[in-house]
Amino acid sequence: MSKINQYINKNYKKVIGWGTSAYYKNNASKLNVNLDYLIDSNENKYGTYIDGKIINKPETLTNENSEDTLIIIFSSFYNEICEEILKYGDFDSISGNGFLELGHSLGINSRKIFNEYEENNQIILTISRNNYYLNTNGLSKFMIEQNKILQEAKCVTLHIYWRKYNVKDYKGIYITIVRDGKEIGFLNVSNFLKNLKKVDGIIIHSLANLNLNTLDIILDEIGSSVPISYYLHDFSCICSNIKLMYNDDYFCNGYSNNWNLCSTCKSNESKKKIFAYHQELFDKKNIQLIAPSESTKEIILQSFNIKDCKIKVVPHQKFTVTKDKKSFVGSKIKIAYVGYKAKHKGWDIFKELVTDFKGQYEFYCFGFSDDIITNVTYVDVSFIDDGEVAMTKKLKENNIDVAFLWSLVPETYSYTYYESSAAGLYILTNRLSGNIYNQVLINNNGTVLHNYEELYNLLKDENQLRNCINTNEIVFNGLIKNNKGMSQIWEL
């Protein structure tokens, strides 16, 4: 029996799920918890069944005993649903994803954070929204590589993230402590700070979904003399929607239009708090902002009232640009979607291309995707299993000609652009793609288009596309992580 189910059996007689949409589908099976029934605010679902569980209206909770009932919330609107639950009683509640995270920490025998001999080493505290070793996105890739570099420099790296829990035995903010991917501690804030003997430097990678007051408590305890590096991996310093998408639909471009759309966006209230908090945080003398690209630096400068010198541009990787023509393009041009599947990455546009040009081109998807499209060849890629150049190797092995990098929001860096360029691929992108757009213009190794109509017209003229591929001579050689840039982070 899992630790989660053991915990439930010990503390609760009944477990109810709230929410039945995509969040439920993505998390319920992972939790593998026996739910008594489900609740949804959509009255059209009342009386129907999912996974053999009936869906009831929220008022059903009036019949439950809040003392021995747990509600698992399967929705991104966690705070709003918690407020709704209070109308029916003082129930314990937790998000589906939060329960999965708690499950990793249940039963941890928290030991001393440091061994005695380590306390003389440089202690680096890193902060992000989760245990980055359990993810395979660009942020996790960077943090794993930086962690190795700091360890090689004889630093002791300690990673933390925290969550607010409202379940038995765990009420309030708890900090999870991670070393080398292994969770070694699960402490409330007070006990964590008692165990933290010293800190020589702090690296903030992402504060998305973290309680910001907790960061203030940690920073106040550590003191203002400790240098802080704040990496701008995304735009979580501006808004809870870290991609700056208006109502999760399209890029808002808020920083260049005086945030006009914010008033009608569902993220508006959280944006106000997050933005104001970071404006004050960025004013601290001991903090250095680090952008992975010039385009990201420009967006942050347009957004916040800070000086240019406050932001240092440090690319994640280094390489040399050489000229080397692609040796052979087959009878059918191979076009690959590179990276993880997401609406803001252009996945829906890619699906349109596959439909409109099936049979004319060979389509591939490199990276994890649970959305299987006919006429697409899927290739699994893992930098954890296959090393930092895994994507480039796979693209070369499959003789891919074109990388489809159609991000609909500004990319702060985009590993996939550099990996595709290291494989000598021709890049198709659009004007919204941030650093991808900038780098294509700088290196002249792709085409920047405005919309799907222009993209369609280019692919319709196969000879034109083939000519673009054949005339592309740009290859990034020696692509490796930027060791020096990752380690020299305290130059304030």
| pLDDT confidence bin for 49, thresholds 50/70/90 | very high
Average pLDDT of the residues of the chain? 91
Work out the average pLDDT over 59-77.
94
Tell me which of 68-72, 88-92, 134-138, 177-181 is least confident. 134-138
Is position 339 within any domain? Answer: yes
Is residue 367's pLDDT more than 90? no
Is position 381 within any domain? Answer: yes
Question: For the stretch 301-314, what's the b/e string if a residue is b when 16 or more beta carbons lie within 10 angstroms of its beta carbon?
Answer: bebbeeeeebbbeb
Residues 221, 172: one domain? yes
Q: Is 444 left (phi over 0), alpha (psi -120 to 50) or beta?
A: left
The pLDDT, as a whole number, for residue 327 is: 65
Specify which residues 428 forms β-bridges with.
404, 447
Contact between 168 and 92 under an 8 Å Cβ cutoff? The reply is yes
- Domain end: 74, 105, 136, which one? 105
Residues 309, 386: one domain? no
- Domain end: 289, 316, 343, which one? 316
Residues 94, 123: one domain? no
- Domain end: 291, 316, 341, which one? 316
Work out the average pLDDT over 312-316.
95
Is residue 492's pLDDT more than 60? no
- Residue 483 to residues 131, 178, 250, 314, 451, Cα–Cα distance (Å): 22, 22, 35, 11, 38
Is residue 440's pLDDT more than 60? yes
Is position 487 within any domain? Answer: no
Beta strands in 351-435 (DSSP E): 362-366, 376-379, 402-404, 426-430
Work out the average pLDDT over 439-452.
97
Residues 299, 339: one domain? no
The pLDDT, as a whole number, for residue 205 is: 96
Work out the average pLDDT over 40-45.
93
Is position 85 within any domain? Answer: yes
Residue 17 structural domain: 3-105
- Residue 198 to residues 120, 162, 205, 387, Cα–Cα distance (Å): 10, 19, 20, 33
Is position 469 within any domain? Answer: yes
| pLDDT confidence bin for 1, thresholds 50/70/90 | very low
Residues 284, 204: one domain? yes
**Other CB atoms within 10 A of residue 207 CB:** 22
Look up residue 339 and give its DSSP letter.
S
* Helix 452-460, helix 347-357: angle, nearest 10: 30
Residues 78, 135: one domain? no
Contacts for 398 with CB less than 8 Å, ≥ 6 apart: 334, 336, 364, 377, 379
Is position 490 within any domain? Answer: no
Is position 456 within any domain? Answer: yes
Is residue 449's pLDDT more than 70? yes
Residues 135, 264: one domain? yes
Contact between 326 and 470 under an 8 Å Cβ cutoff? The reply is yes
Is residue 203's pLDDT more than 60? yes
Residues 336, 442: one domain? yes
- Return the H-helix or E-strand segment holding 417: helix 415-422
Is residue 491's pLDDT more than 50? no
Identify which has the larger pLDDT, 413 or 80: 413
Tell me which of 174-183, 283-292, 296-305, 347-356 is least confident. 174-183
The pLDDT, as a whole number, for residue 111 is: 61
Is residue 43's pLDDT more than 90? yes
pLDDT in tens, 407-419: 999 999 999 999 9
Give the domain CATH number at 51. 3.40.50.720
Give the domain CATH number at 120. 3.40.50
The pLDDT, as a whole number, for residue 109 is: 64
Is residue 276's pLDDT more than 90? yes
Work out the average pLDDT over 348-356.
96
How many domains are there within the chain? Answer: 3
The pLDDT, as a whole number, for residue 57 is: 95
Residues 302, 351: one domain? no
The pLDDT, as a whole number, for residue 385 is: 65
Task: Give dist(CA 181, CA 489) in Å, integer.
Answer: 22
Is residue 114's pLDDT more than 80? no
Is position 486 within any domain? Answer: no
Is 313 in a helix, a strand, or coil? strand
- Return the H-helix or E-strand segment holding 135: none
Nearest to 418 by CA among 409, 410, 427: 427
Task: Give dist(CA 397, CA 204) in Å, integer.
Answer: 37
| Farthest-apart Cα atoms in the chain, separation | 72
Task: Give dist(CA 377, CA 338) in Å, integer.
Answer: 12
Task: Give dist(CA 385, CA 391) in Å, integer.
Answer: 11
Phi, psi angles (nearest 5°) of residue 26: -80, -25
Question: For the stretch 208-218, what's the b/e string if a residue is b when 16 or more beta carbons lie within 10 angstroms of its beta carbon?
Answer: bbbeeebbeeb
Identify which has the larger pLDDT, 1 or 383: 383
Residues 121, 80: one domain? no
The pLDDT, as a whole number, for residue 196 is: 85
pTM equals 0.89
Residues 289, 335: one domain? no
- Residue 284 to residues 147, 227, 233, 343, 492, Cα–Cα distance (Å): 25, 10, 20, 36, 12
Residues 283, 179: one domain? yes
Question: For the stretch 62-82, what's the b/e string if a residue is b when 16 or more beta carbons lie within 10 angstroms of its beta carbon?
Answer: eebeeeebbbbbbbbebeebb
Is residue 329's pLDDT more than 60? yes
- Per the listing, tokens 């929220």 go with 58
Specify which residues 17 forms β-bridges with.
38, 72
CA-based Rg of the chain, rounded to a whole angstrom?
24
Task: Give dist(CA 483, CA 134) in Å, integer.
Answer: 23
Percent of the chain with pLDDT over 90: 73
